[in-house]
Amino acid sequence: MGVIAKIALFALGISFFIFVTFFGRLPALRRTPIAWLHRLIWVHLPNGAVSLDERLTGRRVTSSCTRFFNYMMYDRHPTVLIFFLILLVGGEYFYLPTAWPQLTPLVKTTGTISILLPYLFLYLSAFSDPGTITPQNHAHEMARYPYDFSLFHPGAECATCHLLKPARSKHCSVCKRCVARADHHCIFINNCVGARNHHWFILLLLSTAVLTLYGGVLGVRLMTAEMRRRFPHWEMLPWRANGGAGMDVTDWLVVWSWGMQDGGKGTGAGVAMGAVTLLALMTSPLVWGLLGYHMWLVYCGTTTNEAMKWSDWQVEMDEGFAFRRRLDGGRTKDVKVEPAWTRWPVEAEQVLVRTEDGKPPAEGGNLPGFGEWQAVWRLRDVENLYDLGLWDNFKDVFVPGFMFRDPYVPLPEGRLRRKRKRRARKIYLA
């Protein structure tokens, strides 16, 4: 196997592994081979290794591995961030010496911008505060979103921070703090993604996606230009080679491998540019996929954390344990556990509960809401309070603070009604 093929296989393997790790738990991919592979890698293989170790060494290997794994997974450390930086810097170090002299001034300008932006957004998302909830900003953070009485209920206190959990917040076990509108803890930026850095994170994904695609396409163009000079009968599509007569696929591949190795003037630097081009083209779909997933979540008015919770609710609904009833949107709130008003323009009008026995909750309990309990079978029948529609959802992520409003000015009736139509089912492509 040639060097190029080895690099290609390695990059493909890494990309696929990251893909399975990131996407294997997505509700949309449940009952697909991706979810099955995710369970194999993250559940069955570790369990198998543990039982083997039990028999061989009495769990000595596992316990030291567990300590290392826990450190890697549940402590803040910049290992993956450094790996990401090495990929970026190393890729540019090997790519640019061959590519740069061949570029036009326009490509040099746009290329420089594409190279610099990921560093800028990496810095901003890694070193900015994701929205840490402190005693000082607690009242402010409580007023960010109302409780939806489905995913987030008033009165829950964080056992570590000893503060009431604001709606949409989550305690991060890695950062050891509560984070406002927590999306997820991202090991690539060694930071949480939350209300205050979500936009930087999405811009980091976008700039990295553009950089890998730009670098990959440009690298291919430089190589194929050289290949055409050396083999004038060669074409990008094998059946168009030799003036339309076609070309043997083996010969076509031989020209490619010449291009990747000697296209860069047959020097070591040329091989390096070819390898980086290949790596960029193969990782690009993964980055675009992650970007697409995060844009989709914003479109749905939800977060990674909440999508998981909705997925759990779908299971409860499938099994017939989910019930809902109406909630008075204008009710008087218990200000000990709930803010009197929030900056969000709508209020919850439903209560969602699960029961142990599949029967509606007994009357006379102290559950919020009024009227009959109804069984809920589908996500399309419940509201997602945090989905205001595409435009407002984007504003909430990219212009933090736009939702500020005077608590004493009631909302126009029409606005409230328009905002009522959004349903949780969007999350599931339903």
C-beta of residue 147 within 8 angstroms of C-beta of residue 346: no
Q: Is 286 in the site for Zn ion (CB under 5 A)?
A: no
Residue closer to Zn ion, measured from CB, 32 or 160: 160
- Member of 14, 174, 337, 403 binding Zn ion (CB under 5 A): 174
- Kindly state the number of chain residues that form the binding site for Zn ion, as judged by CB under 5 A: 10
Of 4-12, 33-41, 95-103, 172-180, which segment contacts Zn ion by CB under 5 A?
172-180
172: contact with Zn ion by CB under 5 A: yes
Q: Which stretch binds Zn ion (CB under 5 A): 192-200, 217-225, 302-310, 372-380?
A: 192-200
Q: Answer yes or no: 186 catalytic.
A: yes
Please, what is the angle between helix 198-230 and helix 79-99, to 10°?
30
Shortest CB 170 distance to Zn ion, Å = 8
User: Which region, judged by CB under 5 A, interacts with Zn ion, from 38-46, 171-179, 254-262, 369-377?
Assistant: 171-179
Work out how close the CB of 73 gets to Zn ion at its nearest, in angstroms, rounded to a whole number.
11
CB of 205 vs Zn ion, minimal distance in Å = 18
Site for Zn ion in 144-163 (CB under 5 A): 158, 160-161
Single out the residue of 178, 298, 327, 385 in contact with Zn ion (rule: CB under 5 A).
178
Nearer to Zn ion, 171 or 309 (CB): 171
- CB 380 → Zn ion: shortest distance, Å? 32
Kindly state whether residue 81 participates in binding Zn ion, applying the rule CB under 5 A.
no
Catalytic residue among 172, 186, 192, 300: 186
Which C-beta is closer to Zn ion: that of 153 or that of 422? Answer: 153
Q: What is the 3-state secondary structure (H, E, C) of the chain?
A: CCHHHHHHHHHHHHHHHHHHHHHCCCHHHCCCHHHHHHHHHHHHHHHHHHHHHHHHHCCHHHHHHHHHHHHHHHCCCCHHHHHHHHHHHHHHHHHHHHHHHHCCHHHHHHHHHHHHHHHHHHHHHHHCCCCECCCCCHHHHHCCCCCCCCCCCCCCECCCCCCECCCCCEEECCCCEEECCCCEEECCCCEEECCCCHHHHHHHHHHHHHHHHHHHHHHHHHHHHHHHHHCCCCCCCHHHCHHHCCCCHHHHHHHHHHHHHHCCCCCHHHHHHHHHHHHHHHHHHHHHHHHHHHHHHHHHCCCHHHHHHHHHHHHHHHHCCEEEEECCCCCCCCCCCCCCCCCCCCCCCEEEEECCCCCCCCCCCCCCCEEEEEECCCHHHCECCCCCCHHHHHHHHHCCCCCCCCCCCCCCHHHHHHCCCCEHHHHHCC
Q: Which of residues 410-429 bind Zn ion (CB under 5 A)?
A: none
Choices 50-58, 164-172, 209-217, 383-391 (CB under 5 A): range interacting with Zn ion: 164-172
Does position 185 interact with Zn ion (CB under 5 A)? The reply is: yes
Our finding on whether 192 is near Zn ion (CB under 5 A) is yes
Q: Is the Cβ of residue 177 or residue 422 nearer to Zn ion in the bound state?
A: 177
Shorter beta-carbon distance to Zn ion: residue 165 or 426: 165
Q: Which two tokens stand for residue 272?
A: 């390096």
Q: Is residue 171 a contact residue for Zn ion (CB under 5 A)? A: yes
Token pair recorded at residue 109: 């300008």
| Nearer to Zn ion (CB atom), residue 166 or residue 274 | 166
Min separation Cβ 44 and Zn ion, Å: 27
- Residue span binding Zn ion (CB under 5 A) among the ranges 174-182, 241-249, 305-313, 371-379: 174-182
Residues forming the active site: 186
Interface contacts to Zn ion, rule CB under 5 A = 158, 160-161, 171-172, 174-175, 178, 185, 192
